[in-house]
Structure 1
Amino acid sequence: MIRFLPFAIFILLFILESLFVELFPVRFLTDGHILVPRFLLAGILLLTIYGTKKQGIWYGLLFGLTFDIVYTEVIGIYLFMFPLTAYFVSKLMKILQTNIIISTLVVLLGIAVLEVLVYEMNYLIHITGMPFLQFVNLRLLPTLIINFIFLIIFVYPLKKQFEKISEQIA
């Protein structure tokens, strides 16, 4: 049962992202800013930090493919980027302390890296023509802010769950 708990958490985060996009009144609060919830990626990165690197990368592959199938026109961007970001975070956490503040900042860095890499891929294949500075102002900064708020609320409960799961599986 405990082995399926991360999967259930990630399904819930996947659905929560969709609900956030549908129900949050972004149009009334911002002037063209794009808020991208990356709750699923934040959960995967927290699992990578507080669980195991292997779990984080596997869930990154699984949910990256799911994300590509459901949301994108190009299969493979998130399939490749989610596990790559998890791997990057696991290597970064080997040299940093594992506390909630550092973990939150590293997860935000992982989200920023993902956003920039996805922007660059979309720019490269001409899906977007938005200049980089406009991307930073209209999408990257609001995305980091909304995900920071999510992390402030959920980092501790997710940390506790992933540590508990990691202990019981090991």
Structure 2
Amino acid sequence: MKKFLLPLLFLFLFLLESLFVQYIPPEVFGRNYILVPHFLFAGILFLTIYSGRKYGIIYAAIFGLLFDIIWIEIIGIYFFLFPFIAYLISKIMHVLQTNIIVAFLVSLVGIALLELGVYEMNFLIHITTLEFMSFLEIRFYASLILNAAFLLIAAYPLKRYFESFAESLRDE
């Protein structure tokens, strides 16, 4: 049963991102920040940390491709970066302890890598002309704060769910 709930959880996070973007006001705290939610990717990173590399990379590839098909005009950026960063995070977690604070911090690093990777890819293929310092001020820091707030709320429930998911996989 838990195997069927996992895709539904990620589909919910995918839809939550799009709803958040649709209903967030364009001017936050008196300035025009670009807030980019990565709730789905944070969930994938927690899956990678608590359930294992295999499931993390598979779901990262599937939802990276879905993200590219639906939202991005160039297929491949998220399809490549989601699994690649999930793989890096799984390697990092072999060295570190798997507790919720480390998972929170490592997930924020993964989200930061995703943001930087997407910016660099868009800058290289001339989709954006935004300079790096402007990118940091307008999008990067605001997005990290938003995703950190989401992780503060969702980290413990995600941890509990993925630990029970991993336990059910071991029982099979």
Band of TM-score, shorter chain: over 0.9
**2:125 paired with 1:125:** yes
Q: How does 1:158-169 map to 2 (within 5 A)?
A: 158-169=158-169
1:49 deviates by 0.3
Question: Does the residue aligned with 2:164 lie in a helix, a strand or coil?
Answer: helix
1:40-80 CA distances to partner (integer Å, 9 max, x unpaired)?
00000000001111000000000000000010010000000
Aligned equivalent of 1:144: 144
What is the percent sequence identity of the aligned residues?
A: 53
* In structure 2, C-alpha distance between the alignment counterparts of 1:30 and 1:160, rounded to whole Å: 37
Q: Name stretches of at least 5 consecutive residues in structure 2 with no aligned partner.
A: none
1:119-169 CA distances to partner (integer Å, 9 max, x unpaired)?
000000000011111111111100000000000000000100000011101
* In structure 1, C-alpha distance between the alignment counterparts of 2:107 and 2:8, rounded to whole Å: 20
Aligned equivalent of 1:51: 51
* In structure 2, C-alpha distance between the alignment counterparts of 1:111 and 1:79, rounded to whole Å: 15
- The number of aligned residues is 170
One-letter amino acid of the counterpart of residue 101, structure 2: I
Q: Name stretches of at least 5 consecutive residues in structure 1 with no aligned partner.
A: none
Question: Does the residue aligned with 1:79 lie in a helix, a strand or coil?
Answer: helix
**2:106 paired with 1:106:** yes
* In structure 2, C-alpha distance between the alignment counterparts of 1:49 and 1:30, rounded to whole Å: 37
* In structure 1, C-alpha distance between the alignment counterparts of 2:150 and 2:30, rounded to whole Å: 18
1:27 deviates by 2.0
1:26 deviates by 3.8
How large is the RMSD of aligned CA atoms in angstroms?
0.9
TM value normalised by structure 2: 0.96
**2:54 paired with 1:75:** no
Question: Does the residue aligned with 2:57 lie in a helix, a strand or coil?
Answer: helix
Aligned equivalent of 1:64: 64
Aligned equivalent of 1:17: 17
1:2 deviates by 1.3
**2:24 paired with 1:4:** no
* In structure 2, C-alpha distance between the alignment counterparts of 1:2 and 1:130, rounded to whole Å: 43
